[in-house]
Amino acid sequence: MLRWFKKTLFIFLCFGLLAVVLFFFLEVAARLYQSHIEKHNPFIIAANKGEELPYREMRTENDFQSLLSSKMQGSDRKNENEPKLHPDTRILLNDWLDSKGFSPEKRMKLREDFRSWSTQTRDYYACLTHEAVIVFNAENTIRNYFGSDASYFEGYQRSITLAYLHQTGILGRIYEALKEVRHTNKTVTLTLPWSEHIPGSPVFTAYCLPGIRTGSGWAYDYLFVCMHPDEISRQDSTEIDSASEWEKKHFRYKPDFQQDSEGTFDTNSLGFRDQERKMPKERGTFRILCIGDDSTVEGSHNNRTYPALMEQKLSATFPGKNIEVINAGIAGITASDMTQRFFDYASLEPDLVLLQPGASDLLHLYNRRWTNFLPSISVAARLLFSGIFAPSASSFSDSLKRSQGTALEILCFAFTHTNIPVMLLALPYPDSDRVTRDERQFLKWQSKSALFFPAFSFSDYIGFVKTENLLLQEKAARYHIPFVPMEQGLKDDPAFFGDCFHLTQKGIERKADMACAILEPMIEKGYSAE
């Protein structure tokens, strides 16, 4: 028996040693290959030197009307799939619009009503208030989760999330609150520090409410965690960095911020990367509002963003007409956060809104610590198994529909019910069939190394973008609003992309030209009617 055990142990040790040696050689080979690419790829060399990228000259279609009109979904197109809102959901949305948000007292009343609502109304409430709502049973098991971060409690990610919450002591605090709620049958308020050991880490306020108990039956209990950026405090908070443009990161820029004297990145008194605008709007002004994330706000200077270029081009096309194009983009903002800024957008009195949710929602589901775990510590894993922990196409689609989809429906409902015309713009991406080997290597390198996303997979990302664009098209059809397939005029030339997520200045100019080509007939018709 002892001899058999030693023999088995020896075999396992041999296989283990062989695996270590194999991994070592794979890692060395991967690092040599990566080093070779970085030394010989002309795009990576140019990027490291800060030089212009050596893209090929490619012929691209400039007849934007013919390029987009056949694929553009119009607002007059009827669709049998009308938005089906539960009566409670419609009441909630109308109340939110009429009150321009919910007061703290109103939200506490809504939390009590939450317990008897439908699943749809619960999803809308979580998005409108930017709260995470966790439903517990009597055994303290999570039965449901509502909010934009619901995917953290799905699949294998659920175990990782619960393990972290247990390690930081957050789960223990929640269990104590649940115990008190069940004993007193009253609401308990608690604070949840994300980490007590990391200075500046967020501290959340939460409310634990008892379920509706009838007879001897046990009801679920509810935890409402306030996730709105303005409601999150910081441990050991210090003064805001004066060199930073952020008031609330990925949510709001500082008002009247000036990065330098050259207009590289300036904000107006409203905290947008735009020039000062007159409020209320002057009579006869046609005001276009551009909303989005990096895809909207990006540009080498304030006057080189796509909204600024649009204003210059449209003003030249319609001399004597007062046309304004406001850049309300915020880098990294998600569709859920856009719903929190809706009343800021509406206060600008836009005549037309161009809404382009960018890659932020997509990356929120894709670029995660668990997905990046192996690729972040091993170059071999980065090259060979980058997408091994990425979400599947079906799970990504389901998560995106629940997070971004709900927010998009709220935004579409809000704009249409406040009589503000809106257009949804598709997210551009480089065509995988048109890029060369060097260009593909550069785009992957830029995303993995420069953008700190080691698990990035070119094919996975393109698939996820197409899924997001299909979701945008679906929401546009449901609310009978125009959908503009912007990727049609951008994907054919890799020179339009600095990486898979951001456009080069050439791409930004192309995007502005496309938007102007679509809007010029509409503006001309509008002025003629006036």
> How much is the pLDDT for 529?
40
* Chain mean position to CA 185: 38
Q: What is residue 237's DSSP assignment?
A: -
Is the domain of 298 the same as that of 204? no
Which helix (H) or strand (E) is 118 found in, with range? none
Is the domain of 267 the same as that of 413? yes
Domain closes at, from 202, 234, 266 = 234
Predicted structure pTM score = 0.91
Q: Is the pLDDT of residue 104 over 80?
A: yes
Amino acid symbol at 446: Q
Residue 371 CA to residue 376 CA, distance in Å, equals 9
Q: What CATH number has the domain bearing residue 455?
A: 3.40.50.1110
Give the domain extent around 205: 102-234
For residue 7, tell me if it sits in a domain: no
Q: Under a CB-based contact definition with an 8 Å cutoff, are residues 447 and 500 in contact? A: yes
Peptide bond into 280 cis (omega under 30): yes
pLDDT in tens, 219-252: 789 999 999 999 998 766 555 677 889 999 999 9
pLDDT in tens, 160-197: 888 888 888 899 999 999 999 999 989 999 999 887 66
Counting the structural domains of the chain, the total is 2
> How much is the pLDDT for 76?
47
Provide the percentage of residues in the chain whose pLDDT is more than 90.
52
For residue 59, tell me if it sits in a domain: no
* Chain mean position to CA 94: 25
Q: Under a CB-based contact definition with an 8 Å cutoff, are residues 93 and 85 in contact? A: yes
Beta pairing class for 285-292 and 352-356: parallel
For residue 523, tell me if it sits in a domain: yes
pLDDT in tens, 386-409: 777 788 888 889 889 988 999 999
Q: φ, ψ for residue 424 (rounded to 5)? A: -100, 130
Domain closes at, from 234, 269, 303 = 234
pLDDT in tens, 13-54: 888 888 888 888 888 888 898 889 989 999 899 888 888 888
Q: Under a CB-based contact definition with an 8 Å cutoff, are residues 501 and 331 in contact? A: no
Neighbours of 320 (CB within 10 A): 5
Is the domain of 520 the same as that of 475? yes
Q: φ, ψ for residue 450 (rounded to 5)? A: -70, -30
pLDDT in tens, 469-504: 999 999 999 999 999 999 888 887 888 998 888 999
Residue 370 CA to residue 392 CA, distance in Å, equals 14
Residues whose CB falls within 8 Å of the CB of residue 337, separated by 6 or more in sequence, listed in order: 130, 229, 250, 251, 330
pLDDT in tens, 506-527: 999 999 999 999 999 888 876 5
Q: Is the pLDDT of residue 424 over 50?
A: yes
Task: Dump strand ranges (E) for 328-418.
Answer: 352-356
Q: Is the pLDDT of residue 68 over 70?
A: no
Is the domain of 135 the same as that of 216? yes
> How much is the pLDDT for 152?
83
